[in-house]
């Protein structure tokens, strides 16, 4: 079988983004687990690339949590200086908040959902990839831990279910990234099915 070649291969910029992500997030673990946080960043970049991301989008996927979790505006300025305005714009737009302390959970999430319907396609690609990986992790752990899972989340059971359904509806309303959003919808529907079953 002949080798396949990317029309726009990833360059050393993406390698530098991976290094920065490891430097920034190397001591973090996924909420409620011992899984290195970098695993999530790699997964989000992988999902984005599988759904057609170009290099700026892939870099933003790797760095999508850097501003919120690791340094706020100073980190965003670093990303802009090292990777350019396009990457910085995506990272900023997918950032829940850069305020310390963070604003109330529900208000943040309502604001995030509302802005998805009018934001750029690149932002929605990275955001949907992020939310898909999170939803897959929730579904996996829900099957193992049951209702105890919801103790990990600031929104609890009802808030988390509301948030992910709101995300799906916003992505559907915005259109684009059809297969990615459909997979997110299927994953969230399965979470909702298990939640409803637990109430029966």
Q: Which of 114, 109, 113, 130 is nearest to 177 (CA)?
A: 130
The single residue of 56, 57, 65, 68 carrying the catalytic annotation is 68
Whole-number Å distance between alpha carbons of 97 and 69: 9
**Annotated catalytic residue within 69, 96, 110, 190:** 69
Answer yes or no: are the C-beta atoms of 96 and 149 closer than 8 Å.
Answer: no
**Could you tell me if 167 and 131 are in contact, meaning their C-beta atoms sit under 8 angstroms apart?**
yes
DSSP secondary structure of 2-20: PPP--SS---HHHHHHHHH
Residue 69 is among the residues annotated as catalytic for this protein: yes
Q: Catalytic: 96?
A: no
Q: For residue 101, is it left (φ>0), alpha (ψ between -120 and 50) or beta?
A: beta
Nearest in space to 93 (alpha carbons), one of 64, 66, 117, 72 = 64
Q: How many helices (H) and strands (E) does the chain have?
A: 10, 0
* Length of the chain in terms of residues written: 200
Question: Is 91:64 a contact under the CB 8 Å cutoff?
Answer: yes
Q: Which residues are marked as active site?
A: 68-69
């Amino acid at each position: 079988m002949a080798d396949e070649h990317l029309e726009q291969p990833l360059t050393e910029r993406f390698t530098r983004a991976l290094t920065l992500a490891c430097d920034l997030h190397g001591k973090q673990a996924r909420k409620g687990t011992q899984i290195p946080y970098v695993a999530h960043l790699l997964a989000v970049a992988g999902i984005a690339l599988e759904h057609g991301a170009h290099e700026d989008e892939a870099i933003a996927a790797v760095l999508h949590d850097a501003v919120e979790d690791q340094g706020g505006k100073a980190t965003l300025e670093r990303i802009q200086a090292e990777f350019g305005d396009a990457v910085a714009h995506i990272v900023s737009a997918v950032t829940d908040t850069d305020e310390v302390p963070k604003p109330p959970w529900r208000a943040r999430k309502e604001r995030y959902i509302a802005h998805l319907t009018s934001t750029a396609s690149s932002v929605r690609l990275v955001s949907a990839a992020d939310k898909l990986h999170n939803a897959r992790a929730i579904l996996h752990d829900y099957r193992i831990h049951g209702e105890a899972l919801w103790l990990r989340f600031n929104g609890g059971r009802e808030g988390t279910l509301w948030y992910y359904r709101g995300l799906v509806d916003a992505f559907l309303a915005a259109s684009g990234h059809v297969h990615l959003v459909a997979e997110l919808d299927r994953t969230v529907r399965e979470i909702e099915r298990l939640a409803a079953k637990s109430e029966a």
